[in-house]
Amino acid sequence: MIYTNYKYYVYIFLFLVLFSSVYSQSMQDLQKMKAEYDKFQKSQGEVTTQINVIDPVTGLPKQAKITPYQLLGEEKDSVDMSLKHFGYDFFTRRDTVSFWENLPTPANYLLGPGDELVISLWGGTQLRETYIISRDGKIYDEKVGLMNLMGKTIEDAEQYLNSQFGRVYSTVKGPNPTTYMDISLGQLRSINVNFVGEVTYPGVYPIHPFSTLITGLIQAGGVDTTGTLRNIYIQRDGKISQNIDLYDYLLKGDLPANIQLRDQDVVVVPVRQSSITIDSLVVRTGIYEAKSGETVKQMISYAGGLKPNASSLIGIERIIPLNERNAKRSSTENYYIDYASSQMVPVQNGDTITVKSIFNTLSQVEIIGQVKSPGVYHYYKGMKLKDLIQLGGGYNDTTFWKSVYHASGELVRRDPESRYETVITIDLNKAIIEDNKENLPLENLDRFVVHANLNFFEKQNVQILGEVNIPGSYPLISDKETLRSLLNRAGGLTSKALPDGVSIFRTKKYFDEGLTKDSNIEAEFSLSNLEIIDKNVESNKKKDWIRVAWQNENIALMPGDSVIVKETTGTVNISGEIYNPGLIEYQKGKSLRYYINSAGGITTNGNNNDVIVIYANGVVVPKKFLRSPTVKDGSTIIVNEKEIKEPFDVAAFSSSMLSIISTTVTILVLSQQLDKGN
């Protein structure tokens, strides 16, 4: 019992320690998160600006990175890239604006509180001192005293300080001074600029002192699409110091003068003056802003101009101003103008400009057949047949010219009065002559067909292999060269050749594919007669070739035929429903029955009346009722299987007959009873 209680207290202790650890860690995390949140709240709304001049590690000038203002967790609105307001993404498409801090000080930069001024004297007097301009715009030197620099440029400050230091250092002044002064800026201050109106995030921003209107707007998050880009102005000391049209900068790169921002400036972005939509066949579709009096042509120019496939027809959809509407008139009106006169048509707020496309026209001619480069070519007015032939490669190549059928080409022309095309026969010998009447002017959509001279093209050779004295590849020398002629050209048969054992194989391209399906006979000869050929050739022949049966050597050969002369083997091949199929020694004069009996005779499944003999030349002779075919050397005997028939069922036949007799007797009895009743 004591031991059990001990374990119980140990578990409680471990649980408390673990819970305490977890709880303590959670409180630390919460405190850390709260500190980070307080830090963020303190810095929210501030613009990050790094203004250190020299990197203490590398000794190189640092970059000022200006981050545009953006609220925490805010996602940028999705913009329809196909039709967007022009120019506004210039201020928002980047994360930071960077430039080197050692840029020359702008000539119009005004010194103010917080600027660090470095004054150096060299020559007769050596001095280098650093001063921070106070909130009153003054610096203090122990020898010279207070000096007011508020509102002075660097150039003004240099003249002023030169005169002030000259009161103490006499060598600085005079017609021939021996001490020279140099003034430069050290650490820079931030300036406070007000951004009001249609900016994305209006307010007061501490920005880099070298900022211009453009970089300042970037730091303020850019201009809202409700604001103008054509009439932004800077208000300084209660007066408008500058009006800026940013289209000049965005489209031409012209940077407005005197747009350097100063401390306490107010940048005002009024509401946009108009919205003009250009939605087709310009380089840059979008929504643009027009000033009063600007024309349709100017707006198209702002959009990058017309695309090459644009027509000169410009459509305008216009909203009638409120003061011009009435109950009898529509609130919109549409009309078209010519691009040439668009510079005379001023745009109005809400206009939609649509540029129409030119109509696609089909202007082409085609050359087909025996030309080097057949195809479709552009048609142009005044084009002749010889021009089309030249585009197709011409016939300057005398060898290629021989492959062309010269007597008649065909110019095929569309006939609007008929459902059929008109065919004009052209003599090519004359058509290629410039001034000949056969060199006809072409019409749009003409097609010229050039035929090939089949006599010029190389024909496939005939292959002869096996037991001939000169095997190889032979070209046919006449339209109907015979097997006998080829055998003579191949040196005749060797002493080992089987006289009737010549096999002719012909490509299936000459026959209907439906008639060339493999049969038992074809498979038999494919396997037995092609063994003397290379394996690759054998596989091709079995797939793409068919055997030709012949009875005499006067059979005509065709291009691509293969002739194989078998070697005499002195055997007969017997297969099918035989007890011992295989090869049997050939005995001259022996009958078909002799070879069947030599193979063990016909099996019970064999059909004695369905026997065929296939000779080595491919001829097939079936056994007939009163005549058996002669068996020759190299023959193949095939005994086919009996046709399977259903056995005669005596019981079923008897049952059927009894049923028929019974029915007949019943009918007769009923008929006799009916006769007696009458």
> What backbone phi and psi angles, to 5 degrees, belong to 139?
-125, 160
Domain assignment of residue 58, yes or no: no
pLDDT lower than 70: segments of the chain: 1-82, 93-108, 257-258, 327-329, 510-543, 645-649, 675-678
Spatial strand order in the sheet of 352-357 = 286-288, 276-278, 352-357, 310-319, 332-338
Is residue 498 domain-shared with residue 562, that is, in the same domain? yes
Domain assignment of residue 151, yes or no: yes
Q: Can you name the residues that pair with 564 across neighbouring β-strands?
A: 465, 503
Domain assignment of residue 667, yes or no: yes
With contact defined as beta carbons under 8 Å apart, do 563 and 462 qualify? yes
Question: Any idea what the CATH number is for the domain that residue 386 is in?
Answer: 3.10.560
Distances 26 to 20, 23, 29 between C-alpha atoms, Å: 10, 5, 5
Distances 320 to 28, 292, 334 between C-alpha atoms, Å: 67, 16, 10
Domain assignment of residue 417, yes or no: yes
Domain boundary among 357, 384, 418: 357
3-class DSSP state of 288: strand
Instruction: Please give the distance of CA 393 from its chain centroid, rounded to a whole number.
Output: 31
pLDDT tens readout for residues 136-190: 888 888 888 898 988 788 888 888 888 888 888 888 887 788 888 888 877 777 7
- Rounded CA-CA distance 361/418 in Å is 22
Domain assignment of residue 57, yes or no: no
Is residue 143 domain-shared with residue 204, that is, in the same domain? no
596 CB burial (10 A radius; 0-12, 13-18, 19+): buried
Domain boundary among 357, 372, 403: 357
Is residue 178 domain-shared with residue 197, that is, in the same domain? no
Question: Any idea what the CATH number is for the domain that residue 580 is in?
Answer: 3.10.560.10
Question: Any idea what the CATH number is for the domain that residue 118 is in?
Answer: 3.30.1950.10
3-class DSSP state of 110: strand
With contact defined as beta carbons under 8 Å apart, do 538 and 530 qualify? yes
With contact defined as beta carbons under 8 Å apart, do 291 and 347 qualify? no
- Rounded CA-CA distance 236/107 in Å is 18
Is residue 437 domain-shared with residue 399, that is, in the same domain? yes
Q: 670: which residues sit within 8 A by CB, 6+ positions away?
A: none
Domain assignment of residue 49, yes or no: no
Q: Tell me the residue ranges of DSSP E strands in 270-385.
A: 276-278, 286-288, 310-319, 332-338, 352-357, 364-369, 375-378
With contact defined as beta carbons under 8 Å apart, do 562 and 548 qualify? no
With contact defined as beta carbons under 8 Å apart, do 380 and 363 qualify? yes
Is residue 445 domain-shared with residue 530, that is, in the same domain? no
Domain boundary among 333, 357, 381: 357
Backbone dihedral region for residue 88 (phi beyond 0: left; psi -120 to 50: alpha; all else: beta):
alpha
> What backbone phi and psi angles, to 5 degrees, belong to 358?
-70, 155
Domain assignment of residue 442, yes or no: yes
With contact defined as beta carbons under 8 Å apart, do 148 and 137 qualify? yes
Is residue 150 domain-shared with residue 245, that is, in the same domain? no
Residue-level pLDDT at 347: 94
Structural domain tally of the chain?
A: 8
- Rounded CA-CA distance 212/352 in Å is 34
3-class DSSP state of 23: helix
pLDDT tens readout for residues 240-299: 888 889 998 899 888 776 677 888 889 999 999 899 999 889 999 999 999 999 999 999
Spatial strand order in the sheet of 232-236 = 203-207, 191-197, 266-269, 232-236, 239-244
Is residue 180 domain-shared with residue 196, that is, in the same domain? no
- Rounded CA-CA distance 217/196 in Å is 10
Domain that holds residue 253: 191-269
Q: Which residue type sits at 69?
A: Y
Q: 263-300: buried (b, 16+ CB within 10 Å) or exposed (e) per residue?
A: bebbbbbeebebbbbbbebbeebbbbbbeeebbbbbbb
Domain assignment of residue 50, yes or no: no
Is residue 181 domain-shared with residue 92, that is, in the same domain? yes
With contact defined as beta carbons under 8 Å apart, do 305 and 283 qualify? yes
- Rounded CA-CA distance 307/305 in Å is 7
Is residue 3 domain-shared with residue 34, that is, in the same domain? yes
With contact defined as beta carbons under 8 Å apart, do 593 and 628 qualify? yes
Is residue 555 domain-shared with residue 469, that is, in the same domain? yes
Name the residue with tokens 């030709």: 548
Neighbours of 342 (CB within 10 A): 20
Q: 388: which residues sit within 8 A by CB, 6+ positions away?
A: 365, 367, 377, 442, 446, 448
Is residue 659 domain-shared with residue 621, that is, in the same domain? no
Residue-level pLDDT at 50: 41
Is residue 288 domain-shared with residue 324, that is, in the same domain? yes
With contact defined as beta carbons under 8 Å apart, do 233 and 268 qualify? yes
3-class DSSP state of 501: strand
